[in-house]
A and B are shown apart, each in its own frame.
Chain A
Amino acid sequence: EPEVTQTPSHQVTQMGQEVILRCVPISNHLYFYWYRQILGQKVEFLVSFYNNEISEKSEIFDDQFSVERPDGSNFTLKIRSTKLEDSAMYFCASTPFSTDTQYFGPGTRLTVL
């Protein structure tokens, strides 16, 4: 069964550094999402992406964040200058249609020191 994959599984970085989190969505899916989960808290929506542009973003997704689909398979989340409060598990999700089930990857745990 096709799966969403994410790399790395764990990323440790220093405050102020840039990080790129990578996702490979399921191959025939067209809609892509990033969510995050701060330890002990609920999963929060960050951004949705379709047809090479952002379709919706949350208040969390400020100018420090960006997303890109650099090729036909990868979907990336970049944080330009990480802060301590960016420490969280970041989940990628994809779906074939906007009104269909979102399939989640295993997550990348980001630790900002």
Chain B
Amino acid sequence: AQSVTQPDIHITVSEGASLELRCNYSYGATPYLFWYVQSPGQGLQLLLKYFSGDTLVQGIKGFEAEFKRSQSSFNLRKPSVHWSDAAEYFCAVGSTGFQKLVFGTGTRLLVSP
């Protein structure tokens, strides 16, 4: 069965600093990978996705993620964090036939002035 690990529960970054959120997955085949963001009291917004092709994918709000098959990772990055990026970030993997998403436990990002 597929699984997703986000090892960092909380991360605090200074505004303007770079950000990397870690995600490791377990899945037997080529995975469909996603990053979603959830602001307080809000739903899940898709940041970016990887299905195939170029392993570096660009998303909304200046985010990018790199798929590394050898490390089973799909880390999310942003070169310069803004205060509005404070939210919870979820990595997810799509299963065979893509009938469901399996989510990680999330990483809460705090942005300090």
Contacts and interface: CB of A to CB of B under 8 A. Distances in A.
Interface residues of B, number: 23
Interface string A1-43: 0000000000000000000000000000000010100000111
A100 B100 CA distance: 11
Contacts of B101: 33, 35, 43, 45, 102
Interface residues of A, number: 22
Contacts, number: 50
Nearest to B105: A42
A43 B42 contact: no
Interface string A37-67: 0000111110010000001101000000000
A43 B44 contact: yes
Contacts of A102: 101
B63 to A, nearest CB: 15
Interface string A66-107: 000000000000000000000000010000001111111111
A35 B100 CA distance: 9
Contacts of A106: 42-43
Interface of B: 32, 34, 36, 42-46, 49, 51, 90, 92, 94, 97-106
